[in-house]
Structure 1
Amino acid sequence: MAVTPPVCDFGWKAPDFALPATDGKTYALDDIRGPNGTLVMFICNHCPYVQSVLDRILRDAAELQAAGIGVVAISANDASDYPEDSFENMGKLARDRGFTFPYLYDESQAVAKAYGAACTPDFFGFDAQDGLQYRGRLDASTKQAGPVDAKRELYEAMMMVAKTGAGPREQTPSMGCSIKWKTA
C-alpha cells in the first residue's frame, strides 16, 4: 500500500544519529553533513518504488555530493519480516550498485521515528545549519520509473538549498511503501 509523508516543516532541525553502515563504520550526522546541506534518505532494498528509481537516486546523490551536499541512506525496515532488507543484503546492494554514500541500518527504528519517516523512499533535505528545506519526491516516478526527462525535483531543490539556503515553497510529497515497523 502506498504511503505519502507530510509536507515540509521548514526549519525543523535534523535529529542526530549514530548508526552502523554497510562499510563497517558507524556514522553520525556530523560525519555526513556537507558544507552546502545534507540529504537523508530512507530507503530499503525490496521496495518497488525504490527499485524503480535507484539509478536516479545514485545519479543525483553523486551530483549532489560533488556540489558539497552530504548524502546518506538509512534502512529501518524490520528485517525479520523482510529478509531482503537485512544488513547483509544492504551491504550486497551497496557494493553491487556502487553507492557513493553510506548506507546505514536503523535496526531499533529509533532514527526513523525521530525523523518521522513514513515511506521508502522518503527524502529529507537540510540546509547547512540542519534546517529542513525539502521533504518531497525524487521526481514523478511511482512504482515504475517516470520518463527519462522527468523534472529532477529532489536534485533541483537541493541545488537551490546549496545556493540560497532555502528550498522551494511548492513541493510534491514522495510516495512509496510504508516503513515496515516492528510489532510491539
Structure 2
Amino acid sequence: MKSNKILGIVALLLLVGASLAMGVISSEEISPLEAGYEVGDIATDFSLKNVDGKMVSLSDYKSAKGYLVIFTCNTCPYAQAYEDRIIALDAKYKSKGVPVVAIMPNNPSKKPGDSFDKMKERASDKGFSFPYLIDAGQKVYPQYGATRTPHVFLLEKTSKGNEVKYIGAIDDNYQDAASVDEKFVENAVDAMLAGKEVPLKTTKAIGCGIKA
C-alpha cells in the first residue's frame, strides 16, 4: 500500500510538470500536496501579528473551550462573500467560548490587496470583532494544510491540546447566505459544545487558492 501511495505521488508530480511545460496551468494555480492536520490531530499554537499590531496566540484565550481558526483574505470573492457570516459566527460563539481567529495566508507580494495595511483597512471597514492575523513568512497555513480562502479549522481545547474537530467550508452555499441548507460549521460547534460527536467532520473548502 505504501509503494502504491508513493507511485501515485510520483505520477501526480509528473502530471503537474507536464502541465506546466505545456502551459495548461500556471505555477500560481498549484496548491501544495495535501498535508497538514486531520480531524483528531493536535494543532500547535502560533504567534501572529494582528491588525492592531499586537501578537496573538490561541493560548491568550484562557477561558476558551475551542477556536474557529479561519484562513481568509481581503481579495478573494469567496472570502468576501463569507465575511458577514464569519462576523456572525464570532458574535454567536465567542460568548460561548469559541471565538473566531482569522488568519490571512497569502503572500502580499503576489496579492498586494492582501498587504498588512490593506488588512487593517478591511478589518476597520467591516468592523471585524475578531483578530485578523497575517501569516508572515507563510509558516502557519502549511502546518494546518489550508489550501483555500476561506478554509475553516474547528479546534477543541482538551487536556491533550487543541484537537481538530472539523475541517472545511462554512456552509453549503457561498453565493447566498439566505439559501444555505446546511451550516457545516455551526453544526460542528453546536455538537462540540454539547459534548457530542461532530456529525460531519470534513467538507471541501470552496474558495481561492492560497498564493504562496
Question: Which category of TM-score, normalised to the shorter sequence, fits these structures?
Answer: 0.7 to 0.9
Per-residue deviation, residues 62-93 of structure 1 (Å, max 9, x unmatched): 11112111320000101112111000111111
Structure 1 moving runs of 4+ over 3 Å: 146-150
Whether contact under 8 Å (2:87, 2:128) holds in the other structure is yes
Q: Which structure: larger Rg?
A: 2
Q: In the TM superposition, what is the alpha-carbon distance from 1:170 to its structure 2 partner?
A: 5.0
Counterpart secondary structure, 1:180:
coil
Tell me which moved more, 46-55 or 33-42.
33-42
Which residues of structure 2 form unaligned runs of 5+?
1-28
Q: CA–CA distance in 1 between the matches of 2:177 and 2:88?
A: 15
Q: Does 1:163 align with 2:194?
A: yes
TM-score, normalised via structure 2 length = 0.76
Q: Does 1:180 align with 2:211?
A: yes
Whether contact under 8 Å (1:49, 1:120) holds in the other structure is yes
Q: CA–CA distance in 2 between the matches of 1:43 and 1:34?
A: 25
Equivalence for 1:123: 152
Which residues of structure 1 form unaligned runs of 5+?
none
Q: Which has the higher contact order (CA 8 A, sep 6+)?
A: 1
Per-residue deviation, residues 121-154 of structure 1 (Å, max 9, x unmatched): 0100011221100002111123x23544533221
Could you say which structure has the higher helix fraction?
A: 2
Whether contact under 8 Å (1:124, 1:134) holds in the other structure is yes
Q: CA–CA distance in 1 between the matches of 2:62 and 2:197?
A: 16
Per-residue deviation, residues 19-73 of structure 1 (Å, max 9, x unmatched): 1000121011202465321111000000111111211111112111121113200
TM-score, normalised via structure 1 length = 0.87
Aligned-CA RMSD value: 2.3
Q: Does 1:93 align with 2:111?
A: no
Counterpart secondary structure, 2:43:
coil
